[in-house]
Amino acid sequence: MYPRYLTVVAEFFARPGLEDELRRELLALVEPTRGEHGCVQYDLHEEQGRPGHFLFYENWTSRAELDAHARSPHIERLFSLIDTLVSEPPRILMFDRIG
Amino acid sequence: MYPRYLTVVAEFFARPGLEDELRRELLALVEPTRGEHGCVQYDLHEEQGRPGHFLFYENWTSRAELDAHARSPHIERLFSLIDTLVSEPPRILMFDRIG
């Protein structure tokens, strides 16, 4: 049976000059998040030709586990810093995988 | 060694009333594309609470293989139809996976 994961696509746009700092903060989330219960995939990307535009692609087995992730210390740290690092609000969308 | 895939994120926004037709056309791409050389991941999603907003998440082993995919009969078919099915231009971005 094909699992119907909950997918999150989260985009962050660095404030000019803070690309490296935002990249470092986002990379620091990868390993602790992959160790969380219910995390199936958590990959970080940077757009070609647009340094500082980052995108997480995330698959979770349930909404409860995603909600627990949002309360994790590493995510709380990021959100305490994020306003200083980004040039516009993050674009965070939730999807159902359909195929 | 962690592979540095080429990632594509492609979003499509259905013209109102044509959500089902666009969904059918996009779902039809999944199996033939997964069989293409160099395709590591090709998953289709629909936004929660916004039917008709679709997102492909794609990983490819090389640019040459992605270019071959763009010339495949199933993608040519989609792009011959797409203007009638969408309400705005597709948002298709290329990323490097960094973590």
**Do A43 and B99 make contact, defined as CB atoms within 8 angstroms?**
yes
Domains and CATH numbers, chain B: 6-53+60-90 (3.30.70.100)
Lowest-pLDDT range, A1-5, A71-75, B71-75? A1-5
Per-residue model confidence as pLDDT tens digits over B36-65: 999 999 999 999 999 999 999 999 999 999
Beta bridge partners of B8: B58, B94
CA distance B77 to B84: 12
Helices (H), B35-61: none
Q: B34 Cβ partners below 8 Å, 6+ apart?
A: B42
DSSP secondary structure code for residue A15 in this structure: P
Q: What is the pLDDT of residues A8-19, one digit of tens each?
A: 999 999 999 999
Asked if residues A7 and B63 have their Cβ atoms less than 8 Å apart, the reply is no
* pTM of the model as a whole: 0.94
Strands B6-13 and B39-47: unpaired
Q: Which residues of A touch B98 (CB under 8 A)?
A: 23, 27, 44-46
Q: ipTM of this model?
A: 0.92
